[in-house]
């Protein structure tokens, strides 16, 4: 049986990404301390999620990357606070059955390959290999039917 690290590496490779950085969101405020997310969104607690943070006074939303296990951290993306709309984790999934057809009871595992920040009209993504992309949002994506906007955060 393969380890979780094996599946994570292969999921990333299938999407053309090498695992170089761990990612997290960061919010800088005018009138209160900076808050940071958990590396690679590793928490299931709503209190650790960007969607549940009050954004009043937000001056800058960022994506930070930590290089391997070196502790070296760099800001990889900055979005002006008045433009920020939401964060989204980008996931890759690979079934163990694809890697080993002898596995009868295959489960699908999902692994983070990037983190995106959305504005009213753009999706900006930073990937675990340090690369980034930016693209216009589709008409459907511009509807913002997401938790952050339902909560009024």
Torsion of CA 87, 56, 35, 50, to 10 degrees: -30
Residue 145 has pLDDT above 80, yes or no: no
Asked if residue 66 lies in contact with residue 88, where contact means CB atoms within 8 angstroms, the answer is: no
Residue 135 has pLDDT above 90, yes or no: yes
Residue in the block written with tokens 């650790």: 48
**For 101-125, what is each residue's pLDDT tens digit?**
444 444 445 788 899 999 989 999 9
Position 84 scores a pLDDT of 94
Position 6 scores a pLDDT of 64
Residue 137 has pLDDT above 60, yes or no: yes
Q: Read out DSSP for 35-68?
A: EE--GGG----GGGSGGGS--TTEEEEEEEEEET
Range scoring the smallest mean pLDDT among 16-20, 21-25, 92-96, 147-151: 147-151
pTM, to two decimals: 0.79
């Amino acid at each position: 049986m393969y380890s979780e690290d094996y599946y994570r590496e292969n999921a990333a490779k299938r999407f053309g990404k090498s695992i170089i950085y761990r990612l997290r969101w960061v919010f800088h405020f005018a009138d209160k301390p900076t808050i940071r997310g958990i590396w690679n969104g590793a928490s299931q607690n709503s209190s650790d999620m960007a969607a549940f943070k009050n954004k009043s006074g937000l001056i800058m939303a960022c994506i930070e990357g930590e290089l391997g296990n070196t502790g070296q951290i760099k800001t990889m993306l900055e979005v002006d606070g008045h433009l920020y709309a939401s964060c989204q984790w980008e996931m890759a999934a690979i079934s163990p059955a694809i890697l080993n057809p002898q596995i009868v009871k295959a489960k699908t595992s999902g692994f983070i390959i990037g983190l995106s920040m959305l504005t009213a009209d753009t999706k900006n993504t930073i990937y675990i290999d340090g690369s980034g992309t930016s693209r216009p949002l589709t008409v459907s994506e511009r509807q913002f039917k997401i938790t952050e906007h339902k909560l009024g955060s």
